[in-house]
Amino acid sequence: MDLYPRLARAQTRRQFLKDSQAGLGAIALSGLLGRTGDAGRVNPSANPMTPRPPHFAARAKHVIYLHMSGGPPQQDLFDYKPELVKHHLQPCPDVLLKDQKFAFIKGHPKLLGTPYKFAQYGRSGAWISELLPGLREHADDVAFLKSMWTDQFNHAPAEMLLYNGSSRVGGAAMGSWITYGLGSENENLPGFVVLISGNTDPTGGKALWSTAFLPSVYQGVQCRTVGDPILYVSDPKGMARDSRRRSLDALRQLNEYELEQFGDPETLTRISQYELAFRMQMAVPDVMDLRQEPDNVRTLYGAEPGKSSFANNCLLARRLVERGVRYVQLFDWGWDCHGTGKGDDIVEHLPQKCKEVDRPVAALLKDLKSRGLLDETLVVWGGEFGRTSMNEARGGSKFLGRDHHPHCFTIWMAGAGIQGGVSFGATDELGYQITEGKTTVRDLQATILHLLGLDAWKLTYPYQGLQQRLIGPEGEAKVRREILA
């Protein structure tokens, strides 16, 4: 009676690979688990998220990446250009427009100087805008990279290149690569957590925390500060915890049988994720409960329990790394300052966005430092690209704003392994092209991995006939040691 199912299984690609002379299924699974032997002898209790040693001594254990989705204008925040101010609303020099493509600028644009005051802070004398008074107090903890460069000038491709290593859908997220390489320190929480503010997902969408070709156990988990912290983790109404445990035990037995039969790594992922979800039912509500924090700490961040905000997410990021989460990604939407109206200009809208993030960011750095966590946590702040030195004036708009600009932008890094109080790289007098220390997105990726003790060229996964890497299969990147302590 079981002849037909047996024949049907024999026709599947999975079964073919398992039974082939090369033993591809066994090879893939043994490579995933770091052990020898065929898939039929895999220990189903093995946890793919178990901490693993880095390639070399690490400076950082955790990463908190603060992404300002939309592309913050560097000329109004960090890259002060007096010449640009001097020539404000004068016609742009022809040389800057030759062979250039813009997302929205049409005709011959005018230069746009910043309306904000700047001053120098810290040992490096870094220029910081009046819009970021909190960050100015941490100038000596921060390394500014003022010569970032990307080859993408639209949001989604630029974000995917930054976080997935490819401007097209199908790349694995940075957080997934890192947990694939290192595992995580807390078995009751995801190793890769995503927190969102700004009332919408980043333009790149949920692909930015996808595992793509990596085993799906390394998928980023989105947590919320309103409602259930994680969707679909809570038990259905009327189901007791011991009933859930019994049902999971039964599922585990079925999955272990399938793992023994087929050796599919995704079956091991399924077992691991069911168990993690069960443990998260207790651990996640605890870590997400900001009411546990003292009043003075919530006030420091400007956090309000029960609301969705960047401030809440910054405090949650500290709580997560404190409990061993490897990689925490914050996305804050609203930095796309085109100047089509008050809702996206640099005069009305930009100051509001800066006010929303400056206090929580300064609080995060101060809080991590006071707890000794900044020595082991890498903090990164930035966007997917920069903004033009010209006023966009889309459709004749009278509001001031800047178009997308891939040729130069600024990010900053602080914490584990970073040399604070330095400013690396430079742009021309109008802030349009890099003149010193060009740093590509792949350089940034390699530098982050290096601080975690991971060799960006050795952290690979075979897929589509190539050794895939976060920095791309070509491996064209370099670690920016100029900013390392």
Q: Which residue intervals of 165-230 are DSSP H helices?
A: 174-182
Of 288, 174, 300, give the one whose Cα is nearest residue 225: 288
- In the chain, count H helices and then E strands: 14, 17
Angle CA(17)–CA(21)–CA(23) in degrees, nearest 5?
50
Within-domain flag for 76: yes
Report in angstroms the alpha-carbon separations of 20 from 13, 15, 23, 24, 26.
10, 8, 5, 7, 10
- What is the domain count for the chain? 1
List the chain residues with pLDDT less than 70. 1-46, 225-236, 238-245, 248-249, 271-284
User: Which pLDDT does position 258 carry in this prediction?
Assistant: 77
Within-domain flag for 283: no
- Within 10 A of 463 (CB to CB), how many other CB atoms are there? 14
Measured distance CA(480)–CA(282) in Å, rounded: 41
- How big is the chain by its Cα radius of gyration, in Å? 24
Within-domain flag for 428: yes
Of 358, 351, 372, give the one whose Cα is nearest residue 314: 358
Is residue 459 within 8 Å of residue 450, measured between CB atoms?
Answer: no
Report in angstroms the alpha-carbon separations of 377 from 54, 123, 173, 305.
15, 22, 19, 24
Q: Largest Cα–Cα distance of the chain, in whole Å?
A: 86
Is residue 171 within 8 Å of residue 36, measured between CB atoms?
Answer: no
Measured distance CA(176)–CA(207) in Å, rounded: 11
Q: How far apart are the first and last CA of the chain?
A: 68
Of 470, 447, 444, give the one whose Cα is nearest residue 458: 470
Within-domain flag for 475: yes
User: Which pLDDT does position 241 carry in this prediction?
Assistant: 64
Within-domain flag for 32: no
User: Which pLDDT does position 17 carry in this prediction?
Assistant: 52
User: Which pLDDT does position 287 carry in this prediction?
Assistant: 81
Domain span at 123: 47-229+288-483
User: Which pLDDT does position 2 carry in this prediction?
Assistant: 52
Reduced to 3 states, what is the DSSP secondary structure of residue 270?
helix
Is residue 472 within 8 Å of residue 171, measured between CB atoms?
Answer: no
Tokens in use for 72? Answer: 């913050």
Tokens in use for 85? Answer: 């101010």
User: Which pLDDT does position 25 carry in this prediction?
Assistant: 47
Within-domain flag for 260: no
User: Which pLDDT does position 248 carry in this prediction?
Assistant: 67
Measured distance CA(337)–CA(315) in Å, rounded: 26
The DSSP symbol for 376 reads T
Within-domain flag for 162: yes
User: Which pLDDT does position 244 carry in this prediction?
Assistant: 62
CATH number for the domain that contains residue 295: 3.40.720.10
User: Which pLDDT does position 262 carry in this prediction?
Assistant: 76
Within-domain flag for 14: no
Is residue 382 within 8 Å of residue 112, measured between CB atoms?
Answer: no
Q: Write out the DSSP string of 304-363.
A: -TTS--HHHHHHHHHHHHHTT-SEEEEEEE------SSTTS-TTTHHHHHHHHHHHHHHH
